[in-house]
């Protein structure tokens, strides 16, 4: 007996059995074509991926492979040309303007390679700004902001501006800002690309710590094999297609090979 479309959907989103992981992000056959004049760039050619609540997933791929495009689709920042993205079982394409704003402000925290901090604001102000968008009173926001800055190891720099901080400290501030509204998901697009190896590894350690302490789901893009050790799972993307999934134990980091 074949299942109806309704039954198939219900099956897709059936509650996980005890001990099973809950899918928090589901991308189904996501394609993205950029049109530039007469040229078409196929940035994603049908990416399908489940991301589980509470996992640290790394998306690995060379420059131009489609990592940022996939992030933007997952994060509701740009619409796929076709395919579906579900966050917590909700089809992102069905969200209206306000619901999408809520998703971007409350459900997902974003971290970028270039930190994207507001230079004229202090660390604390950068962190409390998204709280203001979410309607938190300023005193409460200040307390929460200071708490988060301490959590990321930047309590002592709360009143400094980005230009007065090292790259690693600026990225800590950006991580704190991403946590401002207690998101369920952190999307980190090459968060270590502008940092030296040691500082990059500190950032990965911090994200792994936050995953455990805050039970947040972390999705981090990288093209650097050295940044994968702390992941629960690694997905490789090449030329807009997900080509492989592995656990860090399957990777020989000394050779950079997958067993
Ligand atoms: N806004 C855009 N317009 C046109 N082409 C784009 C745009 N953004 C990305 N691309 C192209 O899509 C492909 C994937 O890019 P991207 O997702 O940024 O890859 P990655 O993040 O892995 O470096 C590349 O060929 C890139 O040149
Ligand atoms: Mg990118």
Looking at the domain assignment, is residue 171 inside a domain?
no
DSSP state at residue 217? E
Residue 7 pLDDT greater than 60, yes or no: no
Tokens encoding 146: 């200071």
Looking at the domain assignment, is residue 14 inside a domain?
no
pLDDT score at 46:
97
Tokens encoding 16: 């996980």
d(CA 154, CA 156): 5
Query: SS3 for 9?
Result: helix
Instruction: Give the residue ranges of DSSP H helices in the chain.
Output: 5-12, 67-74, 97-102, 123-133, 138-151, 167-178, 197-214
Q: Within a 10 A sphere around the Cβ of 194, how many other Cβ atoms? A: 16
d(CA 197, CA 191): 12
> Which residue has the least CA distance to atom 27 on ligand 1?
64
d(CA 68, CA 54): 21
Looking at the domain assignment, is residue 125 inside a domain?
no
Mean pLDDT of the chain: 90
pLDDT score at 259:
59
Are 141 and 131 a contacting pair, CB within 8 Å? yes
Residue 258 pLDDT greater than 70, yes or no: no
- For residue 230, the CA-to-ligand 1 centroid distance in Å is 27
Around ligand 1, the residues with Cβ closer than 6 Å are 34, 36, 41, 43, 61, 63-69
Average pLDDT over residues 147-170: 97
- Confidence bin at 1 (pLDDT 50/70/90): very low
Task: Between 14 and 181, name the one with better pLDDT.
Answer: 181
- The atom of ligand 1 lying closest to the CA of 32 is 12
Q: Count of domains in the chain? A: 1
Looking at the domain assignment, is residue 137 inside a domain?
no
- Confidence bin at 15 (pLDDT 50/70/90): low
- The atom of ligand 1 lying closest to the CA of 189 is 21
pLDDT score at 248:
87
Chain CA centroid to CA 207, Å: 11
pLDDT score at 20:
74
Average pLDDT over residues 225-242: 92
Residue 203 pLDDT greater than 50, yes or no: yes
pTM for the predicted model, two decimal places = 0.89
Could you list the residue range(s) of the whole structural domain that residue 190 is in?
23-114+184-258
Say which CATH number the domain at 104 has.
3.40.50.300
Closest listed residue to residue 195, CA positions, set 174, 219, 218: 174
Looking at the domain assignment, is residue 143 inside a domain?
no
Looking at the domain assignment, is residue 13 inside a domain?
no
Q: Which residues 6+ apart lie within 8 Å of 78 measured at CB?
A: 32, 69, 72
Looking at the domain assignment, is residue 100 inside a domain?
yes
pLDDT score at 252:
77
pLDDT score at 16:
62
d(CA 24, CA 103): 13
Average pLDDT over residues 190-215: 94
- For residue 65, the CA-to-ligand 2 centroid distance in Å is 8
Looking at the domain assignment, is residue 172 inside a domain?
no
């Amino acid at each position: 007996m074949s299942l109806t479309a309704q039954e198939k959907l219900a099956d897709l989103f059936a509650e996980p059995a005890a001990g099973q992981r809950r899918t928090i992000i589901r991308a189904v056959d996501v394609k993205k074509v950029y049109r530039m004049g007469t040229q078409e760039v196929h940035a994603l050619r049908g990416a399908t991926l489940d991301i589980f609540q509470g996992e640290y997933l790394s998306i690995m791929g060379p420059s131009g492979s489609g990592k940022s495009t996939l992030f933007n689709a997952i994060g509701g920042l740009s619409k796929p040309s076709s395919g579906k993205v579900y966050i917590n079982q909700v089809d992102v394409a069905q969200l209206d303007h306000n619901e999408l704003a809520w998703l971007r402000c409350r459900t997902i925290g974003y971290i970028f390679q270039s930190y994207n901090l507001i230079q004229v604001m202090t660390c604390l102000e950068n962190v409390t700004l998204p709280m203001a968008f979410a309607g938190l009173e300023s005193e409460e926001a200040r307390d929460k902001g200071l708490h988060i800055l301490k959590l990321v190891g930047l309590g002592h720099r709360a009143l400094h501006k980005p230009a007065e901080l090292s790259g690693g400290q600026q990225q800590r501030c950006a991580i704190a800002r991403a946590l401002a509204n207690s998101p369920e998901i952190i999307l980190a697009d090459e968060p270590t690309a502008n940092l030296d190896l040691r500082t990059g590894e500190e950032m990965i350690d911090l994200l792994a710590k936050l995953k455990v302490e805050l039970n947040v789901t972390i999705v981090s893009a990288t093209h650097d094999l050295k940044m994968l050790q702390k992941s629960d799972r690694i997905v490789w993307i090449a030329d807009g297609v997900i080509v492989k999934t592995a656990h860090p134990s399957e990777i020989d980091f000394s050779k950079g090979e997958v067993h």
